[in-house]
Amino acid sequence: MRTSTTILPALLLAALALTGCGAPTVPDFTYFRLPRAQPLEVASAPLFDEPIVVDAFGADGLYADQSLIYALDPGAQQLRQYHYQLWTDPPTRILQRRLIAQLRASKIAAQVTDELPASNAAIRVSGIILRFDRVPTANGGWSAVVALKLRADGRDGRPIVDDYYRADEAAAGNDIKSTVDAYGAALDRIYAQFHADLRQRGGSRHG
């Protein structure tokens, strides 16, 4: 009786130790930032006298979350979220801040900001994220697919730009970091086109 009392705790400790050794290790979270943006064309003088206000982007469903999204098929009809691969902030904020920084550096207006009282006359820019996917390609690689609806309203409330933009950018490698770099390149192309549209259509109204 005394022997069994001594052996039982030892057996329990051994079982716990074995269970601990066999427990799966939870992966670490990895957070991603977009690469540095390519500069837009710099204006010799501000095109708009009014400030430009860029609101936080809108997004529905998966795109409002912080997880990176990947497709199971090249047609991107089936999507999943990565559990441990995340953006540093929700894409609705990342894309807003990137556009603010690029428009500000382009000197398209004397002031580009994310906040201004509604009573102030301003050019107001809004965006909706329609696609922000990591998509497998037919050759076994990956591409970043970005689709946005971008709108810029004049001080009178009428739209200067109201259009859809899409860019597909092949990733240089199969790792997620390469796809994140491709996201940055795709956004650079979209923002360059939006910037060109804003200058062209805004210039015709402010000329």
Domain residue limits, the chain: 31-206
What's residue 203's pLDDT? Answer: 65
Q: Give the C-alpha separation, 71 to 49, whole Å.
A: 43
- What pTM did the predictor assign? 0.85
- Residue 1 pLDDT > 50: no
Residue 118 vs residue 207, higher pLDDT? 118
User: pLDDT at position 204, please?
Assistant: 52
State pLDDT tens for residues 171-188.
999 999 999 999 999 999
Crossing angle of the two packed helices 176-206 and 91-106, in degrees rounded to 10: 50
pLDDT digits (tens, 9 = 90+) for 4-61: 455 555 555 555 444 455 556 767 899 999 999 999 999 889 999 899 999 999 999 9
Q: Is the pLDDT of residue 149 over 80?
A: yes
CATH code, residues 31-206: 3.40.50.10610
Alpha-carbon 203 to chain mean position: 29
pLDDT tens digits for range 64-90: 999 999 999 999 999 999 999 999 999
Give pLDDT, residue 14. Answer: 52
The stretches of the chain forming alpha helices (DSSP H) are: 2-22, 91-106, 176-206
Among residues 68, 120, 114, which one has the least CA distance to residue 89? 68
